[in-house]
Amino acid sequence: MKELDEKGQRARTAANILSQVSSLDKNKALKIAAANLRLHAADILKANSTDVQNAELSGLKGSIIDRLKLTAERIDGIAEGLEQIINLEDPVGEVISMTVRPNGLQIGQRRVPLGVVGMIYEARPNVTVDVFGLCIKTGNSCILRGGKEAFLSNQALVKILRLSLSESDLPEDSVQLVEDTSRESAVAMMKLNKYLDILIPRGGAGLIKTVVENSTVPVIETGVGNCHIYVDSQADPDKAVAISFNAKTHRPGVCNAAESLLIHESVASVMLPLIGKKLQEKNVEIRGDETVCRILDYAVPASEEDWGTEYLDYIISAKVVGSLDEAINHINHYGTKHSEAIVTENYTNAQKFLNRVDAAAVYVNASTRFTDGYEFGFGAEIGISTQKLHARGPMGLKALTSTKYIIYGDGQIRE
């Protein structure tokens, strides 16, 4: 596709320039961008309002509209995210290690930018700015391919970001938006290995699966979150209720929201009514196994499919388990390796859960909603990696760097 080929060439040129830019100049660009986002908030909101109206007319609703919609407060929060990145240490140039070999060679590793980062994402205009901020700070250029639902919002945002780069004397092509939102453009981007150094999909399970299976560009798999809360036999009731309620209802349309509740059989008759009553405040539908439905007469029977479903809605599956081992095995079978939590006052059980659950983030007595770059102290995030190579969990600045070996010699030759 001609558009992507041209954008790829320009992105590579911009990346070569950015890799040599000082932290001071990169921070200056981010500061100007944050100011411009606030200055031009009315233009962004106007474009976003049209996107939201079009999305609603096409039948979209619920969590998708929530992710798509911008407000003055959300724009200010997005700008604040850029300012937080300014205050973070620039990882580029960091020497991770330096050793001296017997022959006198000094061999070390230095952090360097990845180069050109590609993003394919859905109706999340905040991602546009988050990716821009993290990429600029780490000396990477980026090519963004957002969903058609957020096209006008993304267009307005990228226009402001490119203006900010120009005002900062940095290449505008450090951030580019793919104007074609057809399926063909997504497929073409998956094959742009001549220019892209990495491709990150961010969205629903279908999008991520398609990119992982079809891309010739190295992919970081992110996002799908079938997250569990396990209420142990020795859980504190108040913590169990508060954590379950927060993890499910604080913002149900995001990947770190809880989708499944597991409860030990010895406390189910007490804990389930308490948690269920709290969840009813938000009209959460509980899809339970036979025991859950017997304890809660308002629960509906769960199907096999429910145990592996990411609802992104006010729905939660619930199951009573006979042991901690059963809970761990259930999570490792049905989970998506995103975020999992145990509620317990038993140290041994907590450590067993931490050690055996296979996920990017594992919690003891805390909500899964904390799996987030901002909450982890990384500033914004480019995504939450659920794989194990290169990066895992919330991806901040260091996850957007690679390393190269640097070797100092004094005339050594290999015998």
pLDDT in tens, 100-119: 999 999 999 999 999 999 99
Report, as an integer, the average pLDDT of 274-288: 97
Q: What is the pTM of this model?
A: 0.85
pLDDT-derived band of residue 322, with 50, 70 and 90 as boundaries?
very high
DSSP 404: E
Beta bridge partners of 318: 261, 288
Q: How many Å apart are CA 369 and CA 341, to the nearest integer?
A: 10
**Range 309-319 average pLDDT:** 95
Give yes or no for a contact between 79 and 38, defined as CB atoms under 8 angstroms apart. Answer: yes
CA distance 194 to 229: 43
Structural contact between residues 324 and 355, judged by C-beta atoms closer than 8 angstroms: no
pLDDT, position 351: 98
Q: What CATH homologous superfamily does 2-220+395-408 map to?
A: Aldehyde Dehydrogenase; Chain A, domain 1 (3.40.605.10)
Sign of CA dihedral 367, 373, 375, 377: positive
- Crossing angle of helices 268-280/237-249, nearest 10°? 40
Q: How many CB atoms lie within 10 A of CB 318?
A: 27
> What CA–CA distances, in Å, run from 338 to 28, 255, 364, 388?
34, 8, 15, 11
CB 292 within 8 A of CB 319: yes
Task: Give the span between the Cα atoms of 340 and 226, in whole angstroms.
Answer: 9
Mean pLDDT of 39-48: 97
Say which range, 54-63, 90-99, 294-303, 375-384, has the weakest mean pLDDT: 375-384
- Indicate where the chain has its CATH 3.40.309.10 domain(s): 227-370
> Is 407 in a helix, a strand, or coil?
strand
Beta pairing class for 401-408 and 198-202: unpaired
DSSP code of residue 410? S
| Domain 227-370 sits in CATH 3.40.309.10 | yes
Distance from the Cα of residue 132 to its chain's centroid: 14
Q: What is the DSSP string of 150-215?
A: GHHHHHHHHHHHHHHHHHTTS-GGGEEE-S--SHHHHHHHHT-TTT-SEEEEES-HHHHHHHHHH-
- How many residues are given for the chain? 415
Cβ proximity of 332 and 358 under 8 Å: yes
SS3 87: coil
Q: Can you tell me the mean pLDDT for 18-40?
A: 97
Q: How far is CA 89 from the centre of its chain?
A: 20
pLDDT confidence bin for 124, thresholds 50/70/90: confident
Strand partners, 287: 300, 317
Q: Residues spanned by CATH 3.40.605.10 within the chain?
A: 2-220+395-408
Q: What is the mean pLDDT of the chain?
A: 94
For the chain, give me the number of helices (H) and strands (E)?
A: 14, 16
DSSP-derived secondary structure letter, 302 = P
Kindly state the helix (H) or strand (E) to which residue 319 belongs, with its residue range.
strand 315-321
